[in-house]
């Protein structure tokens, strides 16, 4: 069934109107800007808008789906979100492997501006965090919200608006970097109009989430939804404050952030570390708290512990950004606060990881046999390991060695590959057969292959970067007997070569696994029975007595 076929006639008219509005917006942007990045972005919005106009317009007067659709969950947007998750995974991981190869082989790229390391690197980070992670979060949040509230999404247009709008934001961001347009704020490089657009998308996202929650048939809001809500709310707060900027001209992409110097550094890392907390942790814990119990068939081990760790994470995380600025010009007391809270953060982090692992008690035979559940188990283990490492690296003297080195890169990837990507794959392998009305994935054995490629790739990557980072840190601070520095900077660069090569191999293994996953999902969706629907259904409203 086509996505438009699941909409009523009235909804199709609204969707048609919104598509026309997007085309007009794109045309207006392109015409107003006239040239440069903003004009290209306007043209992109125009093309997307026109595509949607034809897509929806062609089916405007087709037969409407029956009223019985209200007895079903609304999973079209989730299916689309899963597909976009995998598209972004392959694209952004591919770019990641490319840029990592460039550190070993700097001539391995055409001498063109858009293929140079500095422009590709934010494409990798944005593509992974927002494209891969963001689509997975939005897609699973709609799925989990409906199942735990036992109700259908509050309306049919806004979930599509959120997903399509969010992907337009990602596309604007990465294409902007390639054309040389960036704010340079780490993990918030997109220009001002893309940031404004994301705010609009986010308001719609929050609205549909809270409206659906209001229709729930369960008195209690399940813990996974608290985490998704924290993700939506706090990311909005961080995004708005960090991205406040004045455009140089209203018809151009160029802007200056209103923050300067030390305030900007603090705000940028308050954002940066909480992008880790509320984008890359909170929402994914929501995912863990739903898919792990469902797949293992065990209830969450301790409900009290989940309360404790939720509020601990929401409250503590926001303080820790300043540990990125040890020994810098940031006031000393702010650095100390950041360090202290980073160490305290280990308590709620390990409470979550421990809670997840203890949930598997009584289901260890399933962990052994089921690669999908093993993905989630490994994710929980890596979550525990990376949060321990994070608290450790935040301690001031440790940070004096590790900061600015590849140890940080290793730490980030132990979190993103080992934790975030693993839980996404676990969720996808649980959800995709369900969405296709099937018992299993099309190629169950390929999950096993993917699992070992992913675990192997992560370990190769992380271990090589630990070695690289510690070597670098020690070489920079080594003195000889005469009291002179032992190594020039370039000697430390030369020492990195073998680690950079091994890291690229690890990344390549992980990418291969992701491609296997995408093919498997494609085959599963393709082999779904005609008009496949998930077998689980919402509670039906009962007439008043």
Partner 1 sequence: MLRLHYNLEKLSMGLVVGIIVAASIGGIVEIAPLFTIDETVEIPDDMRPQTPLELAGREIYIREGCYACHSQMVRSLADELDRYGPYSLAAESAYDHPMLWGSKRTGPDLARLGEKYSDDWHSQHLIDPRSVVPASIMPAYPWLIRPLDTEILSDQLATLAKLGVPYDAEMIAAAVGDAIGQSQPDSDAGDAVRERYGADVAVRAFDGDPARLTEMDAVVAYLQSLGTLTNAPYELFAEGAQ
**Residue 43: CB minimum distance to partner 1, A:** 21
Tokens (6 digits) for 363: 């289901």
Q: Is 124 annotated as a binding residue?
A: yes
The Cα–Cα gap between 538 and 530 comes to 21
Token reading at 173: 């961001």
As measured in angstroms, the least distance from the Cβ of 16 to partner 1 is 32
Q: Provide the β-strand partners of residue 358.
A: none
- Measured at the CA of 454, the angle between CA 465 and CA 164, to 5 degrees, comes to 100
Is 41 marked within a binding site? no
Residue with tokens 């421990």: 354
Find where tokens 């705010």 sit: 199
Closer CB to partner 1, 226 or 419, in the complex: 226
- The secondary structure of 218-231 as a DSSP string is SSSPPHHHHHHHHH
Contacts of 240 by beta carbon, 8 Å cutoff, 6+ apart: 199
Residue 30 to residue 44: CA distance in whole angstroms: 9
Which lies closer to partner 1 via its Cβ, residue 94 or residue 180?
180
CB nearer to partner 1: give 7 or 128: 128
CB 243 within 8 A of CB 306: no
Query: In whole angstroms, how close is the CB of 541 to partner 1 at the nearest point?
Result: 19
Cβ-contact 213, 225 below 8 angstroms: yes
411 is in an annotated binding site: yes
DSSP symbol at 189:
-
* Backbone φ/ψ region at 184: left (φ over 0), alpha (ψ -120 to 50), beta: left
Q: How far is the CB of 420 from partner 1 (least distance, A)?
A: 19
CB 54 to partner 1: min, Å? 36
- Whole-angstrom Cα distance, residue 459 to residue 194? 36
Instruction: Provide the Cα torsion 284, 264, 114, 48; round to 10°.
Output: 60
* Residue with Cβ nearer partner 1 (337 or 523): 337
Q: CA angle, corner 98, sides to 94 and 524, nearest 5?
A: 10
Tokens of 21: 């509005």
Write down the least CB distance from residue 501 to partner 1, Å: 12
Least distance to partner 1 from the beta carbon of 219, Å?
Answer: 5
| Cβ nearer to partner 1, comparing 336 with 512 | 336
3-class SS at 442?
coil
422-435 vs 76-104: helix crossing angle, rounded to 10: 150
**Least CB distance to partner 1 at residue 53 (A):** 34
Smallest distance, Å, CB 297 to partner 1? Answer: 24
Question: How many CB atoms sit inside 10 A of residue 147's CB?
Answer: 18
Q: Helix 37-57 vs helix 9-33: angle between axes, to the nearest 10 degrees?
A: 160
17 alpha carbon, distance to own chain's centre? 30
Looking at the DSSP bridge assignments, the partners of residue 255 are: 247
How far CA 35 is from CA of 47, 126, 143, in Å, comes to 17, 25, 41
CB of 257 to partner 1, least distance (A): 5
Distance CA 423, CA 417 (A): 9
Which CB, 38 or 453, lies closer to partner 1? 38
Q: How far is the CB of 247 from partner 1 (least distance, A)?
A: 8
**17 or 113: whose CB is closer to partner 1?**
113
Decide whether 226 or 451 has the Cβ nearer to partner 1.
Answer: 226
Between CA 388 and CA 278 the distance in angstroms is: 18
- Report whether 403 belongs to an annotated binding site: no
Annotated binding-site residue? 323? yes
Consult the annotation and say whether 220 binds a ligand.
Answer: no
Euclidean distance between CA atoms 194 and 202, whole angstroms: 12
Binding residues for heme b: 124, 411, 413
Binding residues for Cu cation: 273, 323-324
Binding residues: 124, 273, 323-324, 411, 413
């Amino acid at each position: 069934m086509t996505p438009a076929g699941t909409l009523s006639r009235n909804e199709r008219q609204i969707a048609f109107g919104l598509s026309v509005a997007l085309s007009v917006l794109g045309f207006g942007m392109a015409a107003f800007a006239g040239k440069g990045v903003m004009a290209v972005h306007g043209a992109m919005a125009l093309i997307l808008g026109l595509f949607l106009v034809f897509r929806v317009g062609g089916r405007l007067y087709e037969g409407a789906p029956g009223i019985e659709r209200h007895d079903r969950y609304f999973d079209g947007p989730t299916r689309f979100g899963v597909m976009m998750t995998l598209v972004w995974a392959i694209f952004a991981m591919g770019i990641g492997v490319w840029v990592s190869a460039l550190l070993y082989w700097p001539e391995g790229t055409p001498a063109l501006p858009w293929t140079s390391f500095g422009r590709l690197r934010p494409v990798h980070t944005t593509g992974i965090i927002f494209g891969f992670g963001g689509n997975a979060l939005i897609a699973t949040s709609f799925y989990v919200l409906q199942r735990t509230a036992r109700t259908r999404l509050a309306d049919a247009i806004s979930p599509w608006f959120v997903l399509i709008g969010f992907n337009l934001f990602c596309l604007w961001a990465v294409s902007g970097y390639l054309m040389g347009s960036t704010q340079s704020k780490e993990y918030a490089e997109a220009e001002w109009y893309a940031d404004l657009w994301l705010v609009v998308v986010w308001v719609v996202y929050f609205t549909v989430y809270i409206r659906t929650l209001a229709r729930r048939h369960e008195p209690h809001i399940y813990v996974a939804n608290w985490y998704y809500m924290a993700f939506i709310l706090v990311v909005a707060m961080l995004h708005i404050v960090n991205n406040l900027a004045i455009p140089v001209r209203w018809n151009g992409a160029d802007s200056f952030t209103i923050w300067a110097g030390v305030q900007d550094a603090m705000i940028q890392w308050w954002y940066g570390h909480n992008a880790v907390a509320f984008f890359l942790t909170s929402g994914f814990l929501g995912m863990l708290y739903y898919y792990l119990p469902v797949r293992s068939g065990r209830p969450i081990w301790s409900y009290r512990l989940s309360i404790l760790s939720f509020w601990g994470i929401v409250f503590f995380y926001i303080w820790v950004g300043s540990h990125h600025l040890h020994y810098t010009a940031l006031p000393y007391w702010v650095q100390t606060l950041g360090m202290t809270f980073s160490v305290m953060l280990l308590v709620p982090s390990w409470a979550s990881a421990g809670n997840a692992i203890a949930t598997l008690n009584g289901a260890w035979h399933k962990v052994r046999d089921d690669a999908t559940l093993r993905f989630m188990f490994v994710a929980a283990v890596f979550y525990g390991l990376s949060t321990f490492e994070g608290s450790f690296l935040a301690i001031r003297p440790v940070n004096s060695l590790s900061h600015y080195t590849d140890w940080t890169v290793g730490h980030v990837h132990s979190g993103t590959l080992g934790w975030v990507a693993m839980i996404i794959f676990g969720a996808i392998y649980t959800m995709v057969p369900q969405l296709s009305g099937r018992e299993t994935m099309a190629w169950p054995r390929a999950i096993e292959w993917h699992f070992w490629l992913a675990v192997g790739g992560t370990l190769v990557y992380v271990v090589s970067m630990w070695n690289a980072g510690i070597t670098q840190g020690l070489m920079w601070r080594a003195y000889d007997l005469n009291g002179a520095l032992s190594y020039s900077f370039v000697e430390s660069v030369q020492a990195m070569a073998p680690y950079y090569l091994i890291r690229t191999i690890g990344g390549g293994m992980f990418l291969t696994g992701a491609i296997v996953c995408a093919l498997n999902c494609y085959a599963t969706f393709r082999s779904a029975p005609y008009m496949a629907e998930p077998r689980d259904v919402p509670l039906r409203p009962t007439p008043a007595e």
